[in-house]
């Protein structure tokens, strides 16, 4: 295993990595499938008598079999299994348990569901019309917005339409539940939030949390889709296991998974912007509306992050943002990489593009005039948080030079004047992404570190591995602290009986929270071992515990007892090495040294054990300084900001609307990376996923709200041919971030938002067409080939356009 490789890279390549559905089938194990609604909103009745006649069918369960049939991440408003009325197409109405997977699939087709349709709300506009909302409208306001518009030289207004986006993780929602003695149950789940899964299982089954253990070894992708929506799948499997006292496996097919589960929330955002002749924004009013689906899920928190990112990288002295989640009869939409951030950022960036077009300026010039800067107080967000370690001006300056922006802009202008077949566009967009949960109590984690007598380590945290490499990062932090190779330690599967009350692995904070907790835990061990080593190495070897402990001829080497708990993972650490030193003892390359004398690490562990020095410890970490008042919309919402810029160049085919991404240059500020290779991998993967969202991934529903594009044959995710022909990624050198553990910055979500540069580049290309000499194109997300072609010739397609 190389120094920077993913911890499971070798098992992935060999095909030996175990995912939930790879677990061996146990004797007596049964298989579950879900009968779900095909109607958006209807009363219904069930007849499953035919299914029960099948000799391979063991049971059918309905809402009547669930102890507590309501769950929810923020609001408890969603039934595990619908009773009498369905609220969306894809909602579970019954569970079929059979002896084989195939038998369960056939049996569910024998369940008859009779519908009596009710009025359905299937769009944001419908929700507005019927005042169908989830929770109250929220506001964040700074300055005097009315005055800004009253004195403005220029104003623009418009609407930004952003459709949904499927997670398309390779491993579908899956869980296996094993009944244990005395009414207990162990659930293996593909979940980003084992603690919530544990609580939902316990609540729905009428169990105590102490009787439910949830384990997550790894996921085959998550991207937010398994933050909340894995929990009811686990509860369904556990219901069968408890009722039948046999293991029950529930693994959705890709089609069923896509139909049943929520997506990235669609948004429709209204805006008004006031600016001067130079494009400097003085006032911005944004009203955000999202489609939350039939139940709340995480939509209110997603809306909050969208509101907090509606400024993106720009200082706007007078700003008002409103956010309202709409209740519709779609599947409950949920977390997705970037949470609500992409919707706020996309709105901010298209506003910049429209201002530039209106004034006849280059969009990069307008961006540079509005970007957050440290001088003149232009570094305070609309929610009154100072943008510390602001690298945005530096990022803009460097990427403009490195990607030869001005030269390429000139070449593109010339190309577009000469070509009748293609049109090119170019755009640079930034991201300033807040890192940490906006709900304060979620910003906590715990970890346990064990050193065994052979000197190898086991690390247990609440982080879940969904392919992003969080385990490799945490392992590297812990082993580096002890001066060991990464192969010396293993990060264990996440289990609720080892790490309880954990937060989801989300908000880009998995390494931040759990890595900090693991460092705090191992430093308590290191502190004891350092003190012990300093005393041990003063003695001749003949008096060491390995020579005397068995006979008890020497007194134990006693270290002082003290409270070693801390909440600062950087306490006592050298910023260059990131390591803390105690008692003048150095841990390096498997050797422990003090005052010129050394001992090998395995020998030190043996001596410490014989002197009854604790070789394991636990630590808890909570992010300090999170002081955002949700009611006032003011305060420090984030620990720090990950920043970056991307330049995208695209070519559009005038005859077909086909989009080719010719070149992308990305420059990211990730502080001091823990694992450079994994970070670059995350940047590239996130960008490509975001590029799919803004260009090809189109969700199509019928008039009953049933998803029609529910397979790779009808839902176009990016493939290798869609990646940029030239793809450059560089990380900015930044040693000035002192907020986070070891000066790192999170990478999971922020790069996805840079893919918005592809969308703005498409719009930029269209502005070269005569159609948009005096207006700006209105291309929604995703800018599919069809949408681009319609934008190229709006009159030709007007008779097919829908309002």
CB 337 within 8 A of CB 468: no
Dist CA 762 CA 788 (whole Å): 8
Phi, psi of 774 (to 5 degrees): -115, 5
Q: How far is Cα 549 from Cα 545, in angstroms, rounded to an integer?
A: 5
Beta bridge partners of 249: 31, 176
Q: What is the DSSP letter of 795?
A: H
Residue 216: closest CA among 23, 46, 12: 23
Separation in Å, CA 673 to CA 1, 520, 578, 727, 740: 19, 19, 12, 20, 11
Is the distance from CB of 201 to CB of 235 less than 8 angstroms? yes
* Measured distance CA(598)–CA(593) in Å, rounded: 4
Q: How would you classify the pairing of strands 457-461 and 489-491?
A: parallel
DSSP-derived 3-state class of residue 432: strand
Q: Report the C-alpha gap between 801 and 803 in whole angstroms.
A: 7
Can you tell me whether residue 334 is helix, strand or coil? coil
Spatial separation of the C-alpha atoms in residues 156 and 205, rounded to whole Å? 54
Tell me whether residue 749 is one of the annotated catalytic residues: yes
Distance between CA 657 and CA 652 in Å, rounded? 6
Of 29, 50, 749, 778, which one is the catalytic site residue? 749
Side-chain half-sphere exposure of 740, counting CA atoms within 13 A: 33
User: Which tokens hold the place of 117?
Assistant: 């349709």
81 phi and psi angles, rounded to 5 deg? -130, 130
State the DSSP string of 759-792. HHHHHHHHTTSGGGSSS---PPBS--HHHHHHHH
Residues 373, 784: Cα–Cα separation, whole Å: 36
CA distance linking residue 161 with residue 347, whole number of Å: 9
Residue 798 class from Cβ within 10 Å (0-12 exposed, 13-18 middle, 19+ buried)?
exposed
Q: In what order do the strands lie in the sheet with 597-600?
A: 586-588, 591-594, 597-600
Q: Where are the beta strands (DSSP E) in 422-508?
A: 422-435, 444-451, 457-461, 489-491, 494-495
What angle (nearest 5°) sits at the alpha carbon of residue 495, between those of residues 491 and 496?
A: 140
Give yes or no for a contact between 100 and 54, defined as CB atoms under 8 angstroms apart: no
Q: Which residues are catalytic?
A: 749
């Amino acid at each position: 295993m190389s120094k920077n490789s993913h911890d499971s890279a070798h098992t992935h390549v060999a095909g030996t990595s175990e995912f939930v559905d790879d677990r061996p089938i146990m004797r007596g194990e049964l298989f579950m499938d879900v009968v779900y609604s095909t109607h958006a909103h209807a009363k219904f009745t069930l007849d499953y008598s035919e299914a029960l006649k099948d000799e391979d069918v063991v049971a059918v369960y309905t809402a009547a079999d669930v102890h507590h049939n309501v769950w929810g991440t923020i609001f408890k408003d969603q039934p595990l299994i619908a009773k009498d009325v369905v609220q969306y197409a894809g909602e579970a109405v019954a569970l079929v348990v059979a002896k084989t997977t195939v038998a369960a699939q056939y049996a569910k087709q024998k369940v008859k569901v009779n519908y009596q349709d009710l009025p359905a709300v299937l769009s944001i506009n419908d929700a507005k019309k019927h005042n169908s909302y989830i929770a109250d409208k929220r506001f964040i306001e700074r300055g005097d917005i009315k005055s800004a518009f009253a004195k403005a030289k220029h104003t623009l207004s418009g609407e930004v339409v952003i459709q949904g986006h499927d997670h398309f993780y390779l491993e579908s929602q899956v869980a296996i539940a094993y009944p244990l003695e005395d009414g207990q149950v162990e659930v293996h789940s593909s979940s980003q939030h084992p603690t919530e899964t544990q609580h939902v299982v316990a609540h729905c089954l009428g169990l105590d949390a102490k009787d439910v253990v949830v384990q997550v070894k790894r996921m085959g992708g998550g991207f937010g889709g398994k933050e909340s929506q894995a929990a009811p799948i686990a509860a369904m499997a556990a219901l069968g296991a408890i009722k039948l006292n046999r293991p029950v496996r529930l693994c959705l097919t890709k089609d069923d998974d896509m139909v049943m589960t929520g997506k990235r929330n669609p948004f429709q955002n209204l805006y008004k912007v006031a600016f001067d002749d130079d494009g400097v924004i003085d006032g911005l009013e944004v009203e955000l509306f999202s489609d939350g689906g039939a139940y709340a899920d995480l939509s209110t928190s997603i809306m909050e992050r969208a509101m907090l990112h509606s400024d993106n990288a720009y200082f706007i002295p007078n700003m008002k943002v409103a956010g309202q989640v709409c209740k519709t009869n779609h599947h409950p939409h949920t977390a997705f990489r970037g949470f609500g951030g992409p919707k706020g950022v996309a709105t901010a960036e298209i506003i910049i593009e429209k201002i530039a077009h209106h004034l006849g300026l280059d969009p990069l010039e307008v961006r540079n005039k509005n970007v957050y800067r440290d001088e003149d107080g232009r570094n305070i967000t609309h929610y009154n948080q100072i943008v510390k370690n602001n690298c945005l001006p530096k990022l803009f300056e460097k990427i403009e030079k490195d990607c030869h922006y001005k030269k390429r802009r000139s070449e593109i202008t010339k190309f577009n004047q000469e070509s009748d077949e293609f049109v090119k566009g170019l755009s640079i967009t930034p991201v300033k992404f807040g890192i940490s949960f906006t709900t304060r109590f979620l910003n906590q984690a715990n970890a346990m570190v064990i050193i065994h007598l052979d000197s190898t380590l086991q690390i247990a945290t609440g982080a879940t591995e969904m392919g992003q490499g969080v385990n490799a990062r945490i392992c590297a932090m812990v082993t580096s602290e002890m001066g060991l190779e990464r192969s010396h330690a293993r990060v264990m599967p996440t289990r609720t009986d080892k790490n309880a009350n954990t937060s989801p692995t989300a908000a880009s904070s998995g390494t931040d929270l759990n890595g900090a907790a693991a460092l705090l835990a191992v430093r308590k061990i290191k502190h004891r071992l350092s003190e012990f080593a300093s005393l041990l190495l003063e003695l001749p070897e003949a008096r060491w515990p390995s020579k005397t402990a068995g006979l008890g001829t020497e007194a134990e080497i006693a270290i002082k007892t003290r409270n070693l708990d801390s909440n600062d993972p950087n306490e006592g650490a050298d910023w260059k090495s990131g390591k803390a030193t105690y008692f003048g003892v150095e841990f390096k390359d498997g050797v422990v040294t003090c005052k010129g004398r050394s001992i090998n690490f395995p020998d030190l562990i043996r001596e410490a054990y014989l002197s009854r020095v604790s070789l394991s410890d636990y630590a808890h970490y909570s992010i300090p300084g999170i002081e955002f008042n949700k009611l006032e919309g003011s305060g420090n919402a984030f620990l720090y900001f990950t920043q970056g810029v991307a330049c995208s160049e695209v070519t559009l085919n005038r005859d077909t609307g086909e989009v080719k991404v010719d070149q992308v240059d990305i420059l990211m500020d990730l502080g001091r990376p823990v694992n450079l290779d994994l970070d670059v991998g995350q940047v590239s993967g996130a960008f490509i996923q975001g590029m799919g969202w803004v260009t090809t991934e189109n969700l199509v529903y019928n008039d009953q709200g049933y998803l029609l594009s529910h397979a790779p044959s009808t839902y176009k995710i990016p493939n290798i041919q869609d990646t940029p022909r030239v793809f450059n990624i560089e990380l900015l050198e930044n040693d000035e971030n002192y907020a986070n553990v070891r000066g790192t910055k999170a990478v999971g979500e922020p790069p996805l938002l840079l893919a918005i540069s592809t969308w703005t580049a498409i719009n930029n290309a269209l502005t070269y067409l005569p159609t948009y000499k005096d207006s700006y194109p209105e291309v929604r997300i995703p800018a599919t080939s069809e949408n681009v072609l319609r934008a190229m010739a709006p009159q030709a397609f007007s008779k097919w356009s829908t309002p």
